[in-house]
A and B are shown apart, each in its own frame.
Chain A
Amino acid sequence: MPPPNDAAPADAATDHADRRESGGGRSGDAVVRARGVDHVFDGGRGVHDMELDIPQGSIFGLVGPSGSGKTTMVRLILGLLVPQDGSLEVFGVAPDDFSKDERERIGFLPQESALDPGLSLQHNLQFMASAYGMPWRGRWMPGKRAARARDRIDELLELLDLSDERGTRLGDASTGEQRRLGIAAAMVHDPDLLVLDEPTAGIDPLLREQLWGHFDDLREKGRTLLVTTQYVTEADECDLVGLVIDGEILRVAPPDELRHEAFGGDLVEVAGQDRLPVGDLVDVEGVVGIQRRTARGGLLLLVEDAEATTERLRTALGSQDDDTVTVSTHRPSFDDVFVRLVRAHREGDLDSPQRSSLARHRKDATDA
């Protein structure tokens, strides 16, 4: 992956850096703060009671299925929609009162390619740079600002592996190239808050990994990223995840916390013995129940705390003396986490998912 951007891209971006230093820039301060925000369209769909705080210098993921309301939330945050109720602030200002200064601090990648398919990749970037006050002039025209803008564009094309395609018409570029160009366009002025609506849609896994790596770099440099995704597994890449279902944010928590909540505890996998003493394992302190049998004949146990219980299980099974027995923490995929939380929500049981999970596990244990 190319090195992260350290050079100031242009004056506009330099101004942002100054603002980051002077105010609203302390790590952990909420860049976006929403309280009870409603925006309901005709037909009842929309966003209900949106509550969230997006700390500065974090990657906040809005995760949810297609049509769940993620894009509406993004549009509210960007000022493209006005809340019908509740309060919403970005950089301490209501989005519909954004001044030029606030707008210069935001970068936006919409879900669809919003750039001109008739222009080359480079021309598209030059246009977007000019939209943020960076001059678009040819190399034969004098001007330091224009030269810095050209350097910034070269840098972004390089970063997103688009240098060789800079002259390609956007309409002739692949879906992945178009998406990467959109990200470059959103980043061209080095914004403080980067709002990316489905940035990895249609991008192959290798490039997706690269992009997340770059998002990490941006976070390290103090930028705040709001990312929506329907790839639930990408939630693991975020510092905070907002789980969006039917226009509501069900939970806002770090990924591991959500995982714990979804299953009502942590998961530990026990494997190695032909026939595991199920009754003994359930009686170990901290074990809540048996989640299921694994494909290799082992057991997946639901425990209150994986770290503490693993040792007790090893003792109970005597695995310290038996190399054939393994006890390890199991990290379920975020798909499973997501499915469980959504199911619990739809069954009206999300407020205490642990209870429903426990009940199910005890039944599983009895069956086993």
Chain B
Amino acid sequence: MRDLLIRPAAFVRRELVATLRQPWLLLSLVLGPFLVLFVFGLGYSRDFPTLTTVVVGDEDSELVSRVNDFVAEAEVTGIDYVGTEPDREVALQRLRDDEVDLVVVLPPEDEVGTGERAIIEVHKRSTDPVTGAQVEVAAETAMHEINDQVVAEVLGTVQDQTATLAEDVASARDVIAQVQDAVGADDVDGLLATAETLSVRLDTLADQVGQASRIAALLGIPSSEVEESLRSASEQLASLSRTTPLEDLDELDAMLTEADDAVAALRDADPEVLVRPFDVEVVSDTPVEVTLDRFYAPGLLALMLQHVAVTFAALGLVRERRRGTADVLRVAPITTGQRLVGTTIAHLVLGAAVAAALTALIVTVFGVPVPVDWLQFVGLALLTLLASVGYGYVIASVARTDSQAVQLSMLMLLIAIFFSGLFLPLARINFPVRWVSWAMPTTHAFTGFRELMLLGESVSNFIWAGLSGLAIVLLAAARVLIPWRDSHP
């Protein structure tokens, strides 16, 4: 039993002593990534860059003046509007010459209002996909804004018209009242004449409501029913005879009251609210606001743990083989298991030291919340290191030289950056490619650290199971592959 401990302990001590004799290496392992994140946080601007924009169109056209008004009134951010250019080709050449960032080509006026949607072209030439996406979002937003303006203007016109409509409805109701008053009198001729006049007026009203039906529909007013009711009432009035009782007059009045309410609602409504009935208020449910540097801090921690463990483990074994230490150890009474256990413990200790220092820095400097459960945090870090060390050993069993080991370690780093959710959200990576993501210890660690630090939750079981599975499979593979590679250098 004592011998079982002595030999692995020799590897632990050798690795620790060798690393401690290189204080700059340790310092760079901790300070390097921290400084990268720190400088990134200092230098990164959350605002989108301003895009120099020229509009192609006739200066005298109504569309250009509308765009000018829009730019002036809406105070569009991120757009530096530098005026209009009548010639489309000249404007596009300015885009190619990098004089402007955007060219907005308005449609000819005769294409507007034809019943088809007129197209506004937005030309960009940025190779940066983020800026490209920004342009697309800005263009969409601007188009919505202009469309809304147009709708609001139409609504305003309709509202102006509803003033007359309301007067007409009020007048019609007066007539109804007169008819009702006349029912009891003997002036049947007068009653019929009034009813006929009212019938004609209700017809006119129905026409007006019909014209405004589209707009009324926006309001949720059943304008077609109102129109139908008015016409039905008109027909009833027109068919009044001396012998027919006027039982329906109350119903007619009720219909007109309803129409009056609808018209009043249309007239009093705010066009802005009609066009944009909803506004958004985003409420974050995270314990702290997740800024960009806070988001990346746990990711950086995860990435560094993987990279340090993979590189150290791979290079350590390859160098042992290259300088002949592996042969000496094969001759000595040491098993591969003892060798791997000792080396792994050393990497865990060193990785844990790096993790502790980096965690302290990101918590104190970037204000990343402390993990809600330290035990889980330590467990997650150790498991990440273990799986990463496993990868390092597998790399060591493939690589013949130091440079091959470094190249493969760097490849692992690149895969982790692209696939772990640091670069792109994990949800945007489709299966089966997402299995590549879950094959990276960084992905599990990043997800787990975010749960513990940014969401204030426990680490999900999937992360524990995934990391444990990775560690077991990789270390078992290393146990088989390392002796084979040592005997086939």
Chain A positions near chain B (C-beta within 8 angstroms): 75, 78-80, 100-101, 103-104, 106, 108, 110-120, 123, 126-128, 130-136, 169, 185
Contacts and interface: CB of A to CB of B under 8 A. Distances in A.
Given A119-B21, A127-B13, A103 B327 contact: no
Given A100-B333, A169-B21, A133 B327 contact: no
A128 B9 CA distance: 12
A7 B333 CA distance: 22
Given A103-B332, A131-B332, A133-B3, A112 B10 contact: no
Interface of B: 3, 6-7, 9-10, 13-14, 17-18, 21-22, 323-325, 327-334, 487
A255 to B, nearest CB: 28
A175 to B, nearest CB: 14
Which 5 pairs show the lowest CB-CB distances between chains A and B? A130-B10, A114-B324, A103-B333, A100-B333, A118-B18
B7 to A, nearest CB: 6
A78 B327 CA distance: 9
B175 to A, nearest CB: 106
Nearest to A127: B14
Contact of B331 (A106, A117, A134): A106
Contact of A80 (B3, B333, B334, B487): B487
Contact of A118 (B6, B22, B334): B22
A123 B324 contact: no
A80 B327 contact: yes
A99 to B, nearest CB: 8
Given A106-B331, A116-B14, A131-B333, 17 more contacts: A80-B331, A101-B333, A108-B327, A110-B324, A111-B324, A114-B323, A114-B324, A114-B325, A115-B323, A115-B325, A118-B18, A119-B18, A131-B334, A132-B332, A133-B333, A136-B13, A169-B21
Contacts of A114: 323-325, 327-328
A110 B21 CA distance: 26
A100 B21 CA distance: 32
A78 B6 contact: no
Contacts of A112: 323-324
B21 A118 contact: yes
A103 B332 CA distance: 5
A80 B327 CA distance: 7
20 contacts: A80-B327, A100-B333, A103-B333, A108-B327, A108-B331, A112-B323, A112-B324, A118-B18, A118-B22, A119-B14, A119-B17, A119-B18, A119-B21, A120-B21, A123-B14, A126-B13, A130-B7, A131-B7, A132-B332, A136-B9
A34 B326 CA distance: 25
B9 A130 contact: yes
Contacts of A136: 6, 9-10, 13
A131 B324 contact: no
B333 A127 contact: no
Q: Quick one: which of B3, B324, B331 has the most chain A CB within 10 A?
A: B331
Chain B interface helix/strand/loop/mixed: helix
B4 to A, nearest CB: 10
Nearest to A111: B324
A116 B18 CA distance: 8
Contact of B6 (A75, A110, A111, A133): A133
A79 B331 contact: yes
B323 to A, nearest CB: 6
Contacts of A130: 6-7, 9-10, 13
Contacts of B333: 100-101, 103-104, 131-133
B331 A133 contact: no
A4 B428 CA distance: 72
B329 A131 contact: yes
Contacts of A126: 10, 13
Nearest to A118: B18
B71 to A, nearest CB: 65
A123 B323 contact: no
Contacts of A108: 327-328, 331-332
B403 to A, nearest CB: 18
A106 B329 CA distance: 12
Contacts of A120: 21
Contacts of B328: 108, 110, 114, 128, 131, 185
B16 to A, nearest CB: 11
A226 B329 CA distance: 19
Contacts of B22: 118
A113 B323 contact: yes
A279 B17 CA distance: 75
A114 B320 CA distance: 8
Contacts of B9: 130, 136
Nearest to B328: A114
A80 B331 CA distance: 7
A189 B378 CA distance: 40
B329 to A, nearest CB: 7
B70 to A, nearest CB: 68
A78 B333 CA distance: 12
A89 to B, nearest CB: 16
Contacts of B330: 79-80
Nearest to A113: B323
A111 B21 CA distance: 26
A111 B329 CA distance: 15
A108 B329 CA distance: 10
B14 A103 contact: no
Nearest to B339: A131
Nearest to A109: B328
Contacts of A100: 333
B215 to A, nearest CB: 82
Contacts of B331: 78-80, 103, 106, 108
Contacts of A115: 323, 325
Nearest to A146: B6
A120 B22 CA distance: 12
A123 B17 contact: yes
B29 to A, nearest CB: 15
Contacts of B329: 131
Nearest to B25: A118
A116 B319 CA distance: 9
Contacts of B3: 133
Nearest to B319: A116
Contacts of A127: 10, 13-14
B315 to A, nearest CB: 12
Nearest to A82: B487
A11 to B, nearest CB: 10
A81 to B, nearest CB: 8
Nearest to B487: A80
B340 to A, nearest CB: 14
Contacts of A111: 324
B17 to A, nearest CB: 5
A309 B329 CA distance: 54
A80 B21 CA distance: 32
A110 B10 CA distance: 20
Q: Quick one: which of B18, B332, B487 has the most chain A CB within 10 A?
A: B332
Nearest to B10: A130
A131 B339 CA distance: 9
A111 B327 CA distance: 11
Contacts of B332: 103, 108, 128, 131-132
Contacts of A116: 14, 18, 325
Q: Quick one: which of B7, B9, B22, B325 has the most chain A CB within 10 A?
A: B325
Nearest to A99: B333
A100 B337 CA distance: 14
Contacts of A101: 333
Contacts of B325: 114-116
A355 to B, nearest CB: 43
Contacts of B334: 131
A103 B330 CA distance: 9
